[in-house]
Chain A
Amino acid sequence: MIEFSLNGENVQTDIDPNTPLLWAVRDSFGLTGSKFGCGAGLCGACTMHVDGLAQRTCILPLSAVAGKRVTTIEALGSADNLHPLQQAWIDYSVPQCGYCQSGQLMSAAALLEQNPEPSLAQIDQAMSGNICRCGTYPRIKQAIMAAALSYDATTKEGA
């Protein structure tokens, strides 16, 4: 039995602890926003936050998140309460097929959490583990820069 926090809720499961977190979350908990692109940690489609850090969950065994906080795209924001990055993604028409975008957003959100004012080079570095076959990189970059401005303002207001 493995217990962890999934999007703020304590959950437990008795499936095989070697199962990658991606499949546990998608198939046992029914949250299908995180995607499968390579199964080898090479594309970032499966990115979730584990204790606030972006992780490739297709190669992360369930056992590794015991007692930890897991956050998926479903909890980043919702239609009526979008995360600044999600709003920027819409404003800059980032998604094409959209399949990679949950992972892109989770990587970007982890970046801003750590570094609310990233330089272009820092964005490149943080985002280069996420492949987009549709080629939305230029828009992702613009959207992160735009979100960083409002994100910064929000956090400062809150402070």
Chain B
Amino acid sequence: MRIKNLSRRRFLKTTAVVGGGLVVGFSIFGLSEDPLPVVTESDGFVPNAFLQFTADNRIIFYCPRDEMGQGVMTGLATVIGEELDVSPHTMEIVHCEVHSDYANPAMGIQATGGSTSINAHYRPLRQVGADTRALILAAAATDLNAGINELKTEDAQVLYNGQAYPYGRFIETARNLDPVTDTPLRSQADFRYIGQMSRRTDALAKVTGQADYGLDAKVEGMQYAVLVRSPVFGAKLLSFDDSAVANKPGVSAVVSISNGVAVVADSYWHARQAATALRVEWEATEHSSLTSEQHRSELTSALDSDDETTAIDEGDIQLGFADARAQIDGSYWTPFLAHAPMEPMNALVRLGANDAEIWLGIQSAQAAQNLVSRVSGIPTENIVVHNLFLGGGFGRRGVATHVVEATEIAMAVGTPIKLMWSREDDIQSGFYRPASIARVRAAVDGNGVITAWDVKRAGGDITPGTVKNLLPAIFPSLPSGLANGVASTVGFLFSNLSPDSSSVEGLHENYKFANVQVKNSSIDHGVPVTFWRSVGHSNNAFVAESAMDELAIAANIDPVDLRLKNTVDNPRLNNVIRIAGERMREMKLPEGHHLGFASHGSFLTDVAQVAEVSIEDGIIRVHKVLCVLDCGLAVNPDIVRTQMEGGIIFGLTAALYGEVSLEAGRVKQSNFHDYQMLRMSEAPDIEVIIVDSKTDPTGVGEPSVPPIAPAVANAVFRATGQRLRDLPLRLKG
């Protein structure tokens, strides 16, 4: 039985003066007035949205961000635990449900992404921990008849007079006290957990097969569904013939929904087998004959189009070229990419008369709740989202069209529905990192100062499509016409006024150029595009850092020195470049091995990488990668390392293999045989150096991805003399 924690909450409101002297009420982080979606255990104490203390001395942490492998449960438990004085390993950590208190402070909605989680919660969650500890101490002082100053705490216990009392001992008193606020936070010198933790709190569940993902969810009476979608993006259903399907074993229904034709059966296997016998006719679209060659040639022509917007235009570019010592001019290609998280998309939806539940792993439980509501008409407050572990996210689970699909099928069929995508669905009918081409013309003077940096980029934009998908997910009652209208307005703005920042990010900001110009032409080929681990930086670091290398070679300047010279105004990046550069000079190389360098700041974190590469039988082999980063204070240094390792391997997969290509408007690749992933035998040794820092932590999930492709390309140039300006990197001849 679910008991929502209504009556026992104590509310606290405060007022604040915000810009312009307007006085507004706001609730303290974790203490808003809406009832919490927390199942209160008998005699459990829920002081705020993030914590529950039980009478049997358990402490439950409701983790507001989604665990997709980045270690956010361990990280945020460490952050709140530091001030609460509870080890992350002492807490039970669960995903929260949907509530305004769980909004990401960096976004204003309940969503996980953009490498924001640790940075955005670092102070708010510590405050919650400190205030809660202060409340427990106040209760303990009353119960033990002691002065607060006589009490200490250690890992979920109050220490007094040589005795240790678990926090749970004081919750009866604590629940009748007024909440405490504004408790001073610990100083870094007193940290016990931040900066120390190495093991992950979710490791045991994940090595024993006990961690539950969306794929593992079950509910009484559920049927399995697979959906046949149009092979050409956005094509409308004309007709279907299910005569060969309906009598296949286990099949209970064939229904058409907004996004295709669903085959419903008593098992995934039956549904999948039967779906192969479905005949479907789709309407042609303007992109039904699109090929990758045509797509690329249209992007290339757009480089010369003046139908463009300007991201930055400072100084005088012509002047910058006037007294150059060396110049470069090259165009760099980055293809569409699929995210391919190991767990293909899935969702289990149960619809009641006026209530619903959904089980899945998603980067926004709020979006899932709103979309179920929007499709079914059931009010959001009656919809429970069971957010489970994500079998990889990388941005892909920020899009929730599968929630709409599953809900529509459940409505049509009348039983709970578990919709499962195949890997083929994932590669061929998903969302993609946009492809782009970018031309760089740049010049450097005799002192190694870059005097001109002129970039033109052409390709798809992420934001209009994201707005179209996200608006209904944020505002469930928004009419679709309006959502589409806003999306096309956004699209219009990006095509005419100012570029989508996701498209141009990383093309110039890391360096200070006196004369700089970055322009963009937006071109939509109907391929759905979205955030892909590190977003525009994943394309644009390849452009900028390959061009830097070319410039250094053209001017006969050391590539590390060139970067150092042009980052003096960016000291944190400058420092990681210097450290990585010094290590690079000391590296001893076996015969035939060559080094490449790249650096890039993204998501507030600065990274420099050195790749050691050789060519064996015409194949690019990456043996070692050195990664130096400054991410502020590392809350869990070992998890930071794993994020660097994982991001480098993710980026190497893209550098060496990643390509989604089109033929007759369809994605050519279908599974891991033709959309290849780096495998263990190809994985380099990776050394990670985290720069010591006392500043607040910054992102680590994404920033290791952007530099690796250019670092490898730059090494390949030294090994072969071939300047590879296309991703994936393919040697000629």
Spell out A's residues near B (CB within 8 Å). 15-16, 19-20, 23, 26-27, 30-40, 42-43, 45, 72-74, 76-79, 82, 86, 89-91, 93-102, 105, 123-125, 127-141
Contacts and interface: CB of A to CB of B under 8 A. Distances in A.
Contacts of B645: 135-136, 138-139
B642 A93 contact: yes
B209, B267, B270, B394 — which one has the most chain A CB atoms within 10 A of its CB?
A: B209
Contacts, number: 184
Contacts of A127: 680-681
Contact of A42 (B69, B389, B420, B672): B672
A23 B269 contact: yes
A42 B673 contact: yes
Interface stretch (B211-219, B379-387, B406-414): B211-219
Contacts of A105: 207
A33 B198 contact: no
B680 A137 contact: yes
A124 to B, nearest CB: 4
B647 interface: yes
A93 B341 contact: no
23 contacts: A19-B267, A23-B267, A35-B391, A36-B420, A38-B672, A40-B671, A89-B203, A93-B200, A95-B202, A97-B342, A98-B69, A98-B205, A99-B342, A105-B207, A131-B672, A131-B679, A133-B341, A133-B650, A134-B342, A134-B650, A135-B649, A136-B642, A138-B685
B726 interface: no
B68 A97 contact: yes
Interface string B315-351: 0000000000000000000000000111110000000
A32 B389 CA distance: 13
Interface in B176-229: 198-200, 202-213, 215-216, 218
A82 B207 CA distance: 9
B479 interface: no
A128 to B, nearest CB: 5
A42 B680 contact: no
A71 to B, nearest CB: 12
B546 to A, nearest CB: 23
B683 interface: yes
Interface in B357-408: 389-394
Contact of A36 (B71, B215, B642): B215
Nearest to B684: A138
B269 A98 contact: no
A89 B647 CA distance: 19
B422 interface: yes
Interface of B: 67-71, 198-200, 202-213, 215-216, 218, 249, 267-270, 272, 340-344, 389-394, 420, 422-423, 638-639, 642, 645-650, 671-673, 677-681, 683, 685-686
Given A19-B269, A95-B202, A131-B679, 9 more contacts: A20-B269, A33-B208, A37-B343, A43-B677, A90-B207, A97-B343, A97-B391, A98-B207, A128-B681
B658 to A, nearest CB: 12
B342 A37 contact: yes
Contact of A78 (B208, B341, B423): B208
A88 to B, nearest CB: 9
Contacts of A101: 206-207
Nearest to B648: A135
A36 B344 contact: yes
Contacts of A99: 213, 341-343, 389, 391-392
Contacts of B69: 95-98, 134
Given A39-B423, A141-B680, A16 B249 contact: yes
Return the 7 tightest CB-CB contacts between A and B, nearest first.
A33-B209, A135-B649, A97-B69, A98-B206, A99-B391, A96-B69, A135-B646
A80 B639 CA distance: 25
Given A39-B423, A97-B69, A99-B343, A133 B677 contact: yes
A26 to B, nearest CB: 8
Contacts of B647: 135
A34 B209 contact: yes
Given A33-B209, A42-B672, A136-B646, A98 B683 contact: no
A93 B422 contact: no
B679 A128 contact: yes
B342 A77 contact: no
A43 B342 contact: yes
A87 B715 CA distance: 38
A144 to B, nearest CB: 10
A21 to B, nearest CB: 11
A23 B69 CA distance: 25
A95 B685 contact: no
B342 A93 contact: no
